[in-house]
Amino acid sequence: MRRAILVILLVFAVFIGWALSTGWSPVDQLSAMLEPQRAEAPTSAPADPVESDTATQGIPADATQATVEYVHDGDTLFLTDGRKVRLLGINTPEIGDNAECWGDHATSEARELLPEGSAVWVQQDIEPLDQYGRSLLFVFTEDGTNVNVELVRRGAAQIEQYEPNWLHSDELHAAEEAASAELVGLWGSC
């Protein structure tokens, strides 16, 4: 019994020594997991955006990299990892059999911003999936453009947010107010 206690104490001492030498702290680790991440502008552009969580100013620190496979319509796309994505916080006019005014334009705008094979950064809010199993995401281009907000700014989309997903709400509302005031896209045509 004494030997087992000595072994446990030795292992514990080695662990504490390792933690102190590397600067690891369970308190810091727990705090980092519980606090929301904030994107900070990098002081200089990293050489390889794949190696950095904040590759470019405007890409949130909690965004992950993905690759566009295909844009279906203005607010739906597919990623090469198999995810079907519904752009979060927006709605674009329909295409196809239920075509609505500006639907084809919205699809063209989305395809311009997200060409097939392009590297993007994706960020989720509170609910990761919609009722159809699609990933609810904000998508950022490598230059930091928030595609969801940009589609609203271009008049290709309107805001459609549901509780509890309120991320980027202020940016979306500012973009919609500007687009509707200037009669951009669907605001001036539909």
Mean pLDDT for the stretch of residues 29-58: 45
Facing residues of 21 across strands?
Answer: none
Compute the C-alpha angle 120/181/96, nearest 5°: 55
Residue 82 reports pLDDT greater than 50: yes
Tokens of 106: 């919205």
Q: What integer pLDDT is reported at residue 16 of this predicted model?
A: 55
| pLDDT value of position 26 | 52
Whether the per-residue pLDDT at 70 is higher than 70: the answer is: yes
pLDDT at 47 over 60: no
- For residue 174, what are the contacts with CB-CB under 8 A and spacing of at least 6? none
What pLDDT is attached to residue 4?
57
Cα 103 to its chain centre, rounded Å, is: 23
* C-alpha to C-alpha distance for 12 and 55, rounded to whole angstroms: 39
| CATH architecture designation of domain 60-189 | Beta Barrel (2.40)
Tokens read off for 137: 């995401």
Look at 54 and 132; give whichever has higher pLDDT: 132
pLDDT (mean) for 155-163: 97
- pTM of the shown model: 0.71
Reply yes or no on whether the pLDDT at 48 is more than 50.
Answer: no
Q: Are 59 and 111 in contact (CB under 8 A)?
A: no
Of 37-46, 53-62, 90-99, the range with the highest mean pLDDT is 90-99
Residue 168 pLDDT grade (very low, low, confident, very high; cuts 50, 70, 90): very high
